Amino acid sequence: MILEGLARLGRSGLGTLERLGRAHLLLAGMVLGIGAVLRRPGLLIAQLFNIGVLSMLIIGVSGLFVGMVLGLQGYYVLAQFGAAESLGVMVAASLVRELGPVVTALLVAGRAGSALTAEIGLMKATEQLSGLEMMAVDPVRRILTPRFFGGVLAMPLLAAMFSAVGVLGGYFVGVGLLGVDSGSFWSQMQSKVDFHEDIVNGVIKSVVFGVVVTWIALFQGHDSVPTSEGVSRATTRSVVHAALAVLGLDFVLTALMFGE
Amino acid sequence: MGSRRPRATPPAAVPAIGSAEPAATPDAPSAGSLPEARSRPDHEVLVKIRGLCFRRGSQVVLHRVDMDIRRGAVTAVMGPSGTGKTTLLKLITGQLRPDAGSIEVNGEPVHTLGKSALFRLRRRMGMLFQSGALLTDLNVFDNVAYPLREHTDLNPSMLRKLVLLKLEAVGLRGARDLMPSELSGGMARRVALARAIALDPDMILYDEPFTGQDPISKGMLVTLIRQLNDAAGLTSILVSHDVDETASIADHIYVISHGEIIAQGTPQEIASDRSAWVRQFMDGLPDGPVHFHYPALPLADDLLPRGVAG
């Protein structure tokens, strides 16, 4: 009984290691395939459209509401200390440092990541990837790599959009509805939000999240069991794994960037 | 469309896998159910398989398979579903690696080739998948043009002419603007066939081309496979369990059961084979060496409470 349990544990561990190995080989293949993308930029532009442009609506709307909630909550807390004029700093720093990269990554994992997993999984299930291989076309270079770099490039742009729209949402609530001084809102934000400390670190975070979310989505699709159930499970795993990875990595990156 | 044209030499645009002229006559009669491949001079053989074994987990899919695929011939691999026919095709094309044995295509050991060498070899092979495997985001024209765009620098005018000629060969020139979702199953396979011959390959592998097709589509595919083979000097490997259609166009048939070759010969030899297994498969008998019932406990053991049965 104990031996059987140990054997099961061992098999599961070996299976996980094997999957990790395959995932890293796929990542290496996609990174090394950058030359193919540079030679045919049209493939990358198409994916930037699919992953980036088609996600703009959900990112914009989410950013607006998150900014409005930040404005509302921040005002009530800051007003207790007579610091309501600092609302702009609070909204902007929260968005640029944390909420912009993290919420954008979660939303992209849910909208574009799941679509990528389903698309690649279905291409596998309908033998389109095998068909490409039989035409002597490497599906990793031709299909996966443009999607990978499309996701990596789209993520910081979407995060920037999320933060910008969020700041406008905070301004609308704080200045427009709650009466915070407009000059103080912008000037304090301008003087206290540091370009390197806040904005660059936020961009680095979103690039890392872009790599992780797109990598997980493509690997789950590529590694899925080629049946309808297999693709469905892979799509669920893609979103769950990406969300957990983003939240875990956010803690690590925050500790490294902003820790004393 | 129904008449057979004389075989032509392979097109000059793509280097031929082999230059040996295909034999014009079918195989000489043999004992029919020999488990070993008949020995032929090497220059006549395009694909040579020896001692091929393949497992999936603990399940043995193919066991010590020997096979010779003759140049210029249509060779069929037949057997019921789940006997390893598609796996055999994937092994020949290098999509899978064998656990033991060797596969040589024109003298090149497919099972040991690296990725780039394998891709070079595949440019001279075409494969028709069971599902067609058309790229669903491209229309018919772009699907057929895909391998040409990937592997050649043809100008758009030349590429258009070539694609239209390939589509004309399968009778679908008029369907060039349709999307794969707008095609019937038979049309999708004909488009996939046009794509498979786009680079003028020397060998085409067909994976269950007749499955799920109506009689008219089956007839079209049967004629196309034979005509393309003869007109373009191809070598064809046809995996199927459709007895009549396959026997009508094959020059040589291998019959596989449980991962082993149990019979081989010309369609006439297979038709006259008296072994119980071959007869059950060829005549479609519901019971025989392949049992109607999946292995199970005696019915009484399943239906009656423990202790009552027996």
Residues of A with Cβ-Cβ distance to B131 under 8 angstroms: 126-127
Q: Which residues of A touch B114 (CB under 8 A)?
A: none
Assess contact for B75 and B44: CB atoms under 8 A. Answer: no
Tell me, yes or no, whether A156 lies in a domain.
yes
Which residue matches tokens 């009552």?
Answer: B308
Nearest to A127 among B120, B131, B195 (CB): B131
- Is B131 in contact with A138 (Cβ distance < 8 A)? no
Lowest average pLDDT, out of A76-85, B12-21, B42-51, goes to B12-21
Residue B264 has pLDDT above 60, yes or no: yes
The pLDDT value recorded for residue A63 is 96
Residue B109: other Cβ atoms inside 10 A: 13
Instruction: Please report whether residue B105 resides in a domain.
Output: yes
Judged against a pLDDT cut of 50, whether residue B257 lies above it is answered with yes
Q: What is the pTM of this model?
A: 0.82
Q: Is the pLDDT of residue B74 over 90?
A: yes
Over residues A167-226, the pLDDT tens digits come to: 999 999 999 999 899 999 999 999 998 888 889 999 999 999 999 999 999 999 999 999
Residue A20 lies in a domain: no
Contact A191, A83 (CB under 8 A): no
B101, containing H or E segment: strand B100-105
Q: Which residues in chain A touch residue B119, judged by CB atoms under 8 angstroms apart? A: 136, 138
A126–B146 CB contact, under 8 Å: no
* Residue % of chain B over a pLDDT of 90: 36
Picking from B105, B129, B202 by the largest number of A CB atoms within 10 A of its own CB, the best residue to mutate is B129
Nearest CA in chain B to A128: B133
Structure tokens belonging to residue A125: 């299930």
Task: Report H helices in B61-208.
Answer: 85-92, 115-122, 140-151, 156-169, 185-196
pLDDT top residue among A50 and B279 = A50
Q: Which of A126, A135, A138 sits opposite B146 (nearest CB)?
A: A135
pLDDT averaged over chain A?
Answer: 93
Chain A residue whose CA is closest to B89: A134
The answer, yes or no, to whether ipTM is higher than 0.90 is: no
A170 lies in some domain = yes
Can you tell me the mean pLDDT for A27-31?
94
Residue B288: which pLDDT band, with cuts at 50, 70 and 90?
confident
- Quick check: B135 and A131 CB within 8 A? yes
Residue A18 falls inside a structural domain: no
Burial class (CB within 10 angstroms; exposed 0-12, middle 13-18, buried 19+) of B190: buried
Evaluate if residue A110 carries a pLDDT over 80: yes
Q: At a CB cut-off of 8 Å and minimum separation 6, what does A121 contact?
A: A220, A221, A224, A226, A230, A231, A234, A235
CA–CA dist B269, B265 (Å, integer) = 6
**pLDDT of res. B11:** 37
Domain of B253, CATH number, reads 3.40.50.300
What domain range is B66 assigned to? Answer: 33-72+80-118+245-300
Task: Please give the residue of chain A at the shortest CA–CA distance from B201.
Answer: A135
Residues from chain B contacting residue A131 (CB–CB below 8 Å): 127, 129, 133-135, 192
B102 CB within 8 Å of a chain A CB: no
Q: Does B127 touch chain A (CB under 8 A)?
A: yes
CB B264 within 8 A of CB B255: yes
In a domain? residue B205: no
Task: Looking at the complex, report in whole angstroms how far the Cα of residue B122 sits from the nearest Cα belonging to chain A.
Answer: 6
Residue B109 belongs to a domain? yes
**Angle B156-169/B140-151 helices, nearest 10 degrees?**
130
With respect to residue A33, please indicate whether it lies within any of the assigned structural domains.
Answer: no
Contact flag B136-A126 (C-beta cutoff 8 Å): yes
Residue numbers in A near B125 (CB within 8 A): 134
B76-110 tens-digit pLDDT: 998 887 788 889 999 999 999 999 999 999 889 99
Instruction: Write the residue in B95, B130, B131 that is nearest to A133 by C-beta.
Output: B95
Domain for residue A159, yes or no?
yes
Determine, for residues B134 and A135 on separate chains, whether the beta-carbon distance falls below 8 Å: no
Cα separation of B265 and B268, whole Å?
Answer: 8
- Pick from A128, A135, A147 the residue to mutate for testing the B interface (most B CBs within 10 Å): A135
The answer to whether position B272 is within a domain reads yes
Q: Is residue B19 part of a domain?
A: no
pLDDT, tens only, B166-185:
999 888 899 999 999 999 88
Higher pLDDT, A63 or B12: A63
Q: Give the β-pairing of B108-109 and B100-105.
A: antiparallel
Per the structure, the count of domains in chain A is 1
> What does the alpha-carbon distance between residue A221 and residue A117 come to, in Å, rounded to a whole number?
4
Size of interface A-B (CB pairs under 8 A): 49
**Cα–Cα distance measured from residue B185 to residue A64, given in angstroms and rounded to the nearest whole number:** 48
Q: How many domains does chain B have?
A: 1
Give me the helix-helix angle, A56-80 and A100-108, nearest 10°. 150
Mean pLDDT rounded to a whole number for chain B: 81
- Report CB contact under 8 Å: A134, B131: no
Average pLDDT over residues B114-138: 89
Residues on chain B touching A135 (C-beta within 8 angstroms): 122, 146-147, 150-151, 195, 199
State residue B56's pLDDT score. Answer: 87
Give me the mean pLDDT over the A40-58 stretch. 93
CA triplet B285, B291, B295: central angle to 5 degrees?
160
Closest-CA residue of A relative to B198 is A135
Interface of B with A in 153-192 (CB under 8 A): 192
B270 within some domain = yes
Residue B148, pLDDT above cutoff 80: yes
At B17, the pLDDT band (50, 70, 90 cuts) reads very low
Contact B310, B295 (CB under 8 A): no
Mutation site for B-interface testing, chosen from A120, A126, A134 by largest number of B Cβ within 10 Å: A134
Sign of CA dihedral B281, B285, B286, B291: negative
d(CA B123, CA A200): 47
* Residue B42: band (very low, low, confident or very high) from pLDDT cuts 50, 70, 90: low
- Within 8 A by CB and 6+ apart from B97, the residues are B91, B111
pLDDT band, residue B307 (cuts 50/70/90): low
The domain of A64 spans 44-258
pLDDT value, residue B25: 37
Looking at CA atoms only, how far is residue B131 from chain A in angstroms?
Answer: 7
Q: List C-alpha distances in Å: B146 to A65, A124, B171, B194.
A: 45, 18, 19, 11
The chain A residue lying nearest B196, using CA atoms, is: A135
B56 CB near a chain A CB, below 8 Å? no
Spell out which chain A residues touch chain B, with contact meaning CB-CB distance below 8 angstroms: 126-128, 130-131, 133-138, 142
Does residue B20 carry a pLDDT above 60?
Answer: no
Structural domain includes residue A38:
no
pLDDT in tens, B207-237: 988 887 888 888 888 888 998 899 888 899 9
